[in-house]
Chains A and B, each alone.
Chain A
């Protein structure tokens, strides 16, 4: 492979800020280099997030679903600038490109955007009492005067269903649901506008899950929060989200309102994903689409459409040309050749003939392990 193959393409047209959207993501890329050889030179990239675009309306919840390893969490961290630099594209938070901010400005911005981590058992420091876990950042950012500090923390804890006497206890004294409440209180103590919820309920039991989901919704209504809700549990996502993005191998394959996506899934992957949800009714008979194999390696994604190796409706052009991101219905986007318009079809045909001419060979039908 030639050296310049390792340069990352960064083609995007800058977005104009639209105030109804709190977060605008435009062809965002996050690649992790694979180092190899004697002098640790970059031999390739794991394309964890590869050209993702979406706009998140103020005060709504966007669900992000997909299999494990498809880049959901990396996307969540990248829009918060938590995993170093981006590899391409732009992230506008309230119209401000967050990757252009200096460290000091970014620090001030952090109070506006928070994250609730997946595992409440490892994301709380075992050596700090709960009051300190929740209050540390508040004090650090000087959000409240010192004499009101204790009252403020009590109020935040009360909002999240924690008792004031919990303040002096340590995380190990709490159950999973209570710990998740601590994580939520920690995020909300800073009065954020935007919260990334990274699988906040997947480590919890069903009855506790319901408590946490209800709490998140209550808090959203009270403080007009915007959530990016990452989960692999589709029924939870349907319950909590206003819009849903479906990710596959680093890219969004479909994005639309929850009602649209669940009623009329367009992309074959979305259809297969939704048909795999078990329904708690023994009489429910449904046509299940069972996907073969598992998700390919993001270090070496298939040529053309990334899903073509497992797709039921794979066509010739899917093997060579990556599909465009098309607005099929108003507000309902999809990246699949099935929904191409004439212009997109022409581009696809061009790409197919160009790929054939350059001698590119699509992957043989091998079993994916």
Chain B
């Protein structure tokens, strides 16, 4: 029995108790969200810095599963400055996608809920907290102000509609007022040309299965750009593609960013892609930000042992090593996180303070911040 407990075994009674409890919590969240005629004052807020497009402030997103509560995002704070690219790196399951889905409010509901914290979105003349905004307002925000490029272009496109119809739909829904059918079509063709599809008229009439992976991803990018969003979330846009096609798509994204002047939140697990695209880098581990800074800070002066390990474990062309560094152990169980530093059990640079509480974030420079006890002073450690 004791062994079963350790492995996460739940008795039927316990599981029922957990799901009853979960339903109570999630119902309260859902009720709040479904209210009609919410006054604007409730979700209107001010940006901490007017130069930021998005500010994540101590965001907590939880999934209330039948096996227990998973803190997928556990106190994440970072900013996306206007016109800049912020890269979010981390292994699968570290919460990088959940962070972006919290911004879009596209979490798997009712299990997934933003429990506390704020996501402030700069709308130009005002700022909204999307975690408190009701559904009608979010409908205006998604696509118009924040849009998303998904990882798998085949599943992001509907196989039974032609490419043109799918992009037209986005424009009609979000930006359709005062546009005739011809205007919408002209805009769609313009978008297809913008993402580097030479035969725009032909592709307009095609179905997704007639296109290659790279072309599909271009279509998905065109769709995300349809309403000139201020923030684009690119969730592993090149992971499913070959290196040569990846180079094409990255090149395209870089060109487009200069042309439309929006901010990009670029999520990937590939450090090479991040180095190429990002101005700022956020490294996540087990739902928390362990290190953030400019690309230069992270790649030339990595401070957190996880960042250092991640860099050392990736083979680099032109740098031959006999044996790759590998981070020992594995990510802790998300249902039952330890109360000390989450990385302690895999860390080879532990100090005495690591057995204490989770380390607070400490600034190494104006831009470079890290959560690790090695950089805290003696008095704080005790």
Smallest beta-carbon distance B229→chain A, Å: 25
CB pair A207–B313 under 8 Å, yes or no, is yes
Question: Is A290 within 8 A of B247, CB to CB?
Answer: yes
- Separation of A284 and B243 alpha carbons in the complex (Å): 17
User: Is A369 among interface residues, defined by CB-CB distance under 8 A?
Assistant: yes
Give A293 to B326 CA distance when docked, in angstroms: 37
Contact A214 B326 (CB under 8 A): yes
Q: Which of B270, B295, B317, B325 contacts A274 (CB 8 A)?
A: B317
> Which residues of A have CB within 8 Å of B194?
none
Contacts of B250 in A (CB 8 A): 278
Is A235 touching B315 in the complex (CB atoms < 8 A)? yes
Contact status B275-A280, CB under 8 Å: yes
Given contacts A235-B315, A239-B315, contact A278 B214 (CB under 8 A): no
CA distance A234 to B314 in the complex (A): 11
Q: Which of A204-220 contact B (CB under 8 A)?
A: 205-211, 213-214, 217
Can you list, as one digit per residue, whether each of A190-216 has a CB less than 8 Å from chain B (1) or not (0)?
A: 000000000000000111111101100
The number of chain A residues with a CB under 8 A from chain B is: 42
- Interface size of B in residues (CB-CB distance below 8 Å): 50
Chain B residue contacts of A294, Cβ below 8 A: 212-215, 244-245
- Complex Cα distance, B323 from A214, in Å, reads 6
Give complex CA distance A206, B283 in Å.
Answer: 14
Q: Are A282 and B299 in contact (CB under 8 A)?
A: yes
Contact B313 A206 (CB under 8 A): yes
Q: B320 to A239, Cβ gap below 8 A? A: yes
Q: Which of B213, B214, B295 has a CB less than 8 Å from the CB of A282?
A: B295
* Beta-carbon contact of A279 and B310 below 8 Å: no
Contact yes or no, B247 A206, CB < 8 A: no
With contacts A207-B309, A210-B324, A288-B247 taken as known, whether A177 is within 8 angstroms of B199 at the C-beta atoms is: no
Q: Which of A238-274 contact B (CB under 8 A)?
A: 238-239, 262, 272-274
Q: Would you call A42 an interface residue if the criterion is a C-beta within 8 Å of the partner chain's C-beta atoms?
A: no
Contact status of A369 and B242, CB under 8 A, knowing A281-B299, A282-B275: no
Does B227 make an interface contact (CB < 8 A)?
no
A209, B272: Cβ atoms closer than 8 Å: no
Are A281 and B210 in contact (CB-based, < 8 A)? no
Q: Which single residue of chain A is at the shortest CB-CB distance from B203?
A: A369
What A residues does B212 contact at CB under 8 A? 294-295, 368-369
Q: Which residue of A lies closest to B281 (CB)?
A: A282
Contact check, B313 vs A210: say whether CB atoms are below 8 A apart: yes
Contacts of A295 in B (CB 8 A): 212
Q: How far is the CB of A278 from the nearest CB of chain B, in Å?
A: 3
Name the A residues within 8 Å of B251 (CB-CB).
Answer: 288, 290
Question: Could you tell me if B245 and A280 are in contact, using CB atoms closer than 8 angstroms?
Answer: no
Query: Does the CB pair B327–A207 fall under 8 Å?
Result: yes
- A175 touches which one: B210, B274, B330 (CB < 8 A)? B330
Return chain B residues, CB-CB under 8 Å to A280. 271-272, 274-275, 299, 311, 314, 316
A208 and B330 alpha carbons, distance in the complex (Å) = 8
CB pair B275–A239 under 8 Å, yes or no, is no
Contact, CB under 8 Å: A276 / B199: no
CB distance A277 to B243 under 8 Å? yes
In the bound complex, residues from chain B placing their C-beta under 8 Å from that of A239 are 315, 320-321, 324
A369–B243 touching, CB < 8 Å: no
- Those of A261-317 within 8 Å (CB) of chain B: 262, 272-284, 288, 290-291, 294-295
Q: Is the CB of A206 within 8 A of B91?
A: yes
**A10 lies within 8 A of chain B by Cβ:** no
In angstroms, Cα B326 to Cα A234, docked, is: 19
Q: CB of B198 within 8 A of chain A?
A: yes
Q: Which residues of chain A are within 8 angstroms of B91 by Cβ–Cβ distance? A: 205-207
Interface residues of B in 100-158 (CB under 8 A from A): none
> Do residues A207 and B310 form an inter-chain contact, with CB atoms below 8 A?
yes
A132 at the interface (CB under 8 A from B): no
Encoded as 1 (CB less than 8 Å from any A CB) or 0, chain B from 241 to 285 comes to: 011111110110000000000000000011111111010000000
A window 67-91: CB within 8 A of B = 67-68
Report the separation of the CA atoms of residues A205 and B92 in the bound assembly, to the nearest whole angstrom: 7
Q: Is B318 an interface residue (CB 8 A)?
A: yes
Please give me the residue from chain A that is nearest to B278 by CB atom. A282
Chain B residues with CB under 8 A of A276:
243-244, 246-247
User: How far is the CB of A316 from the nearest CB of chain B, in Å?
Assistant: 24
Counting CB contacts under 8 A, is B40 at the interface? no
Give, as a whole number of angstroms, the nearest-CB distance from B261 to chain A: 21
Contact status A238-B315, CB under 8 Å: yes
CA distance A282 to B299 in the complex (A): 7
Question: Are B324 and A279 within 8 A (Cβ)?
Answer: no
B residues in contact with A282, CB < 8 Å: 275-276, 278, 295-296, 299
A262 and B270 CA atoms in complex are apart in Å by 21
Q: In this assembly, does A329 line the interface, its C-beta being within 8 Å of a C-beta of chain B?
A: no
Chain A residues with a Cβ under 8 A of chain B: 67-68, 175, 177, 205-211, 213-214, 217, 232, 234-236, 238-239, 262, 272-284, 288, 290-291, 294-295, 367-369
Cβ contacts A to B, 12 pairs, < 8 Å: A67-B243, A208-B330, A232-B242, A239-B324, A273-B244, A278-B275, A280-B272, A280-B275, A282-B275, A282-B295, A291-B244, A369-B210
Beyond known contacts A278-B275, A280-B272: 9 more, CB 8 A cutoff = A210-B325, A235-B272, A238-B317, A279-B275, A280-B314, A282-B295, A282-B299, A295-B212, A369-B210
Seen from chain B, the residues whose Cβ lies within 8 Å of a Cβ on chain A are: 91-92, 198-199, 203, 206, 210-215, 242-248, 250-251, 269-276, 278, 295-296, 299, 309-311, 313-318, 320-321, 323-327, 330
